[in-house]
Structure 1
Amino acid sequence: MKNKVLLAISKITNYHHLNRSAQLIILLHFFFCFAEGISSIFVSIYIWEIQHNLFDIASFYLYQSITFFLCVPIVGKLLKHQSSTFSIGIGALLLAIFYLLLLQNHSAHYIALMGLLQGSGYIFYWTGFHYLSVSLTKTSERSLFNSYNEISGALSSLISPAIAGGFIVLMPGKIGYIYIFSTSLLLYLTTTILSIFTKIPPSSTKHFALPLILKISLNPNKKWFWGMQMIFIHGFCEGIFLFLPSVIYFLYFHNEWNLGLLTSMLACLALLSNFLVGRFLPNANRNHAIFWGVFIHSLLTLSFAIYPTWITVLLFGLGISLAKPWYNVPQLTIVFDFIHQQPAKKEHYIEYLAAREISLGLGRMVSFVLLIALITQFHKAEESLSWYALILTFGLPYFWITALKFSRNQKKIFL
């Protein structure tokens, strides 16, 4: 009976279509996402509780983005000589160290150091993970693999933020934060240990030719030029779902329990949306999905930017949960398909992924510099965030345009 149930679930979810290595990487990624789900949304709030300064939070994310430029050459060369799971393990270990230091007194006063450390952990983890996404999956299963990665994030956010928020509110002082950050520390260490036992062969070529790929990125006649434009705009707009949600939810709903509960509720919708994308979205309709995902997300974010109330904050959260998967999963798949589609590119997988991280980091840097400028211009945090959301909203349509130019069906517009 048990085997029949598992077989039925496998057929419904298409999980059996993924190869064994891809399934193991998704399991490893789940532990990473679980560690993120418990603590990541509360890092900004922890800094806010100590500093009561939006400028410091924006600076933290700016320093985090700077590490994309500092660490990408190191990570790229590492991936050329070591297994990609080694890079994943280093990333998880750096994030464990980040939370260990965050538990220390006065850690929130060292914004630059903490931002650089967390950013380094992310760049090591995600570059290694994306390399596995390209090298372990075929074109026919890549959308499914990417959707399961997003599902891992949504599953980890179903319960953990609400429980973590409850701990913070119920425990006196900062004891609740100590508990949840310690739990994330242990989960990141678990991810590091799992990566040791996940054996993936290193790259077959040892020469790291990043300058060559960056040169191609600057040529408007090359398809990759539009890919880098799309990735840059994605990084620029990432403030909508990387920075804004936790801060906005906290400012409008006033405590960590409400923040965690709302995050968990919205994760249910994100889980459903990611499942539908992975299960039912055909490759031919990717541009169609990106258009409608961007349109709905822009509309709901615009409602908050123009008229910020607790109702429009909820609509803003719905936009992230329901609409984001419909453009995020396809754009990832389009990029990975491009890198994978020609045998000549195989020796440059890592360079293309490194260039992707640089473009993403540059977009984030511009975005957070803009936010810092708005914070210095306006006195109220809510006003700064509303203007920030408004500007980022107008970046999303250009994201769709660049995705359309970059995708294979450049001459066909899906509406």
Structure 2
Amino acid sequence: MERTKSIWQAPFQQARSSAAELDGDADRNRGRKPGTLDRQAALLLAVQGMFAVANALSGTFVPVYLWKTSHSFMLIGWFTLCHYLISCITFWLAGKWVKERNKMNSLRAGIVLSGIFYLMVLMLGEQAASYMLLLGVIQGMASGFFWLAYNVVYFEITEPDNRDRFNGWAGLLVSGSGMVAPWISGLLITAFAGNTGYRIIFSLSLLVFVVAAVISFFLKRRPIAGSYDWGHAWRTLRSRHLPWRHVFLALTAQGMREGTFMFLVGLMVYIATANERKLGDFTLWTSLVGLLAFWIIGRLMKPHMRRLSMLWGTLMIIVVIVPLVWKINYTTMLWFGIGTALFLPLYTIPMTSTVFDLIGKSEESARQREEFVILRELGLVFGRMLSVGVYLLVMSVTTAPHAMAWLLLGVGSAPLAGWWLLRRYVGGRVPEG
């Protein structure tokens, strides 16, 4: 096992020190025990945790709120597609700001715009459905600014020996937020008549975003190096000797699953129960399982275990969808949610860690980390847009529950193709080139 570990880590030694020197963090990295996280990593996790709490409080119920005011599956699809499209454009345009200016301001811009999104939903009330495209633009910009900066900083403050642990903690925080926040929101929504409960949870989200913005000021301003390469993604994908064609397609497959699952699962639970509290209970139990799974897998995962872990995770998150094809009710949805929460970390932790390890495999790629992070995000967003496109096509024909179940099974099987494409680069081997 030790020999396998050394083989895995050897190609990264130069890139580690190079990235550290670029960031001015070499001394800090030398003083950190292998596999542990330092204060900057903890602060970044805290910002992500607050961001996750704010979105979990209201984000779970935004599709439900918009559906209740419009009763249109198509409108929700167009809102989501607009969100993904704008986030894609924002990633590419904001790359120059993150590369050459202050990436922490991009992080804060994402937080502020997220707050503005919920403020607008709060002010528009039942008229929000009439402004879905505008709301999609604002949420897309918020996602682009925040996640671009977050992922660049994440790469800079982690290394191959602690990346799985960071991802485990990140998943733990997201699961914890998803466990408590939507459950509280469901209680508040059902406890007040009309849309009063929605106004309360949107207001709470605004407050938490303010806390996240305050915490972000304790993160160090990251040094800048180099100029932004506008055509990097295109040239990288055209190059046949680099692994990024396969990586991009694997990320697209991951995005195919995420694009529809992010909004349709919660909406299906609400439609099956007609009760926001039941949706809150659903997120409580599924996130509790996810929290435990991310904690255990994040602690135990090692680079040499990634390939098999990713395969089993991929197969099982497909298997748990199958019962929905026969029957959709709260019980089958709950078992599907619990099964997904249990096995998803086996897929996402090695997937995320492997892609970022590829970014850091050489001094040259480490210097272009912003461009590679953008390439990663473009792959994910492209997959999400394809997924929503399929959703819109299906919904234009039928809105029957079984059609939605088959849709989930179809797009939910896409990660299997992602594993096949990425398998060469997972599990202790990172080819050169």
Give the paired residue count. Answer: 397
CA distance in 2, matches of 1:155, 1:243: 19
307-316 or 138-147, larger mean C-alpha shift: 307-316
Contact between 1:80 and 1:202, CA under 8 Å: does it hold in 2?
Answer: no
**Alignment correspondent of 2:420:** 401
**Alignment correspondent of 1:162:** 183
**Alignment correspondent of 2:263:** 243
CA distance in 2, matches of 1:300, 1:91: 34
**Alignment correspondent of 2:16:** none
Q: Which of 351, 363, 374 is equivalent to 2:383?
A: 363
Q: Which of 192, 199, 202 is equivalent to 1:181?
A: 202
Contact between 2:183 and 2:283, CA under 8 Å: does it hold in 1?
Answer: yes
AA aligned opposite 1:267: S
Contact between 1:301 and 1:315, CA under 8 Å: does it hold in 2?
Answer: no
Q: Which of 353, 369, 372 is equivalent to 2:392?
A: 372
Contact between 2:180 and 2:284, CA under 8 Å: does it hold in 1?
Answer: yes
**Alignment correspondent of 1:128:** 149
Deviation at residue 126 of structure 1 after TM alignment: 0.8
Contact between 1:79 and 1:202, CA under 8 Å: does it hold in 2?
Answer: no
Percent identical residues:
25
AA aligned opposite 1:286: R
CA distance in 2, matches of 1:165, 1:297: 26
Deviation at residue 240 of structure 1 after TM alignment: 5.2
AA aligned opposite 2:241: N
**Alignment correspondent of 2:13:** none
Q: Which of 38, 41, 56 is equivalent to 1:19?
A: 38
CA distance in 2, matches of 1:56, 1:220: 40
**Alignment correspondent of 2:10:** none
385-394 or 401-410, larger mean C-alpha shift: 401-410
AA aligned opposite 2:235: K
Deviation at residue 394 of structure 1 after TM alignment: 2.9
Q: Which of 30, 54, 66 is equivalent to 1:47?
A: 66
CA distance in 1, matches of 2:419, 2:325: 20
**Alignment correspondent of 1:115:** 136
TM-score, normalising length from structure 2? 0.88
**Alignment correspondent of 1:282:** 302
387-396 or 248-257, larger mean C-alpha shift: 387-396
Contact between 1:86 and 1:196, CA under 8 Å: does it hold in 2?
Answer: no
AA aligned opposite 1:187: V
**Alignment correspondent of 2:23:** none
Contact between 2:64 and 2:270, CA under 8 Å: does it hold in 1?
Answer: yes
245-254 or 263-272, larger mean C-alpha shift: 245-254
1:79-98 map, 5 Å: 79-98=98-117
Deviation at residue 411 of structure 1 after TM alignment: 10
* Per-residue CA distance 1:34-56 (angstroms, 9 max, x = gap): 11121110000000110111111
AA aligned opposite 2:231: P
**Alignment correspondent of 1:353:** 373
Deviation at residue 408 of structure 1 after TM alignment: 6.1
Contact between 2:260 and 2:391, CA under 8 Å: does it hold in 1?
Answer: no
Q: CA RMSD in A?
A: 1.9
234-243 or 59-68, larger mean C-alpha shift: 234-243
Secondary structure of 1:39's aligned partner: helix
CA distance in 1, matches of 2:246, 2:220: 34
1:283-322 map, 5 Å: 283-322=303-342
1:151 partnered with 2:172:
yes
244-253 or 87-96, larger mean C-alpha shift: 244-253
CA distance in 2, matches of 1:371, 1:296: 23
Q: Residues 275 and 379 of structure 1: is their aligned pair in 2 closer, same or farther, counting only changes over 3 Å?
A: closer
1:328 partnered with 2:348:
yes
* Per-residue CA distance 1:200-232 (angstroms, 9 max, x = gap): 323211x11141332212334321111111111
CA distance in 1, matches of 2:249, 2:289: 29
**Alignment correspondent of 1:5:** none
Contact between 2:325 and 2:405, CA under 8 Å: does it hold in 1?
Answer: yes
Secondary structure of 1:243's aligned partner: helix
AA aligned opposite 1:216: T
Contact between 2:40 and 2:220, CA under 8 Å: does it hold in 1?
Answer: no
24-33 or 137-146, larger mean C-alpha shift: 24-33
Deviation at residue 198 of structure 1 after TM alignment: 1.9
Contact between 2:285 and 2:338, CA under 8 Å: does it hold in 1?
Answer: no
1:142 partnered with 2:167:
no
CA distance in 2, matches of 1:76, 1:266: 35
Deviation at residue 160 of structure 1 after TM alignment: 1.4
CA distance in 1, matches of 2:347, 2:81: 25
Secondary structure of 2:61's aligned partner: helix
CA distance in 1, matches of 2:369, 2:430: 27
CA distance in 2, matches of 1:85, 1:157: 25
**Alignment correspondent of 1:57:** 76
354-363 or 266-275, larger mean C-alpha shift: 354-363
Deviation at residue 302 of structure 1 after TM alignment: 2.2
Secondary structure of 1:139's aligned partner: coil
Contact between 2:259 and 2:387, CA under 8 Å: does it hold in 1?
Answer: yes
CA distance in 2, matches of 1:240, 1:363: 10
* Per-residue CA distance 1:137-179 (angstroms, 9 max, x = gap): 1110001011111111111122211111011011111110000
1:233-272 map, 5 Å: 233-239=253-259, 241-272=261-292
**Alignment correspondent of 1:216:** 236
CA distance in 1, matches of 2:34, 2:327: 42
The structure 1 segments of at least 4 consecutive aligned residues displaced by more than 6 Å after TM superposition are none
CA distance in 1, matches of 2:303, 2:244: 19
Secondary structure of 2:91's aligned partner: helix
Contact between 1:28 and 1:191, CA under 8 Å: does it hold in 2?
Answer: yes
**Alignment correspondent of 2:91:** 72
Deviation at residue 194 of structure 1 after TM alignment: 2.1
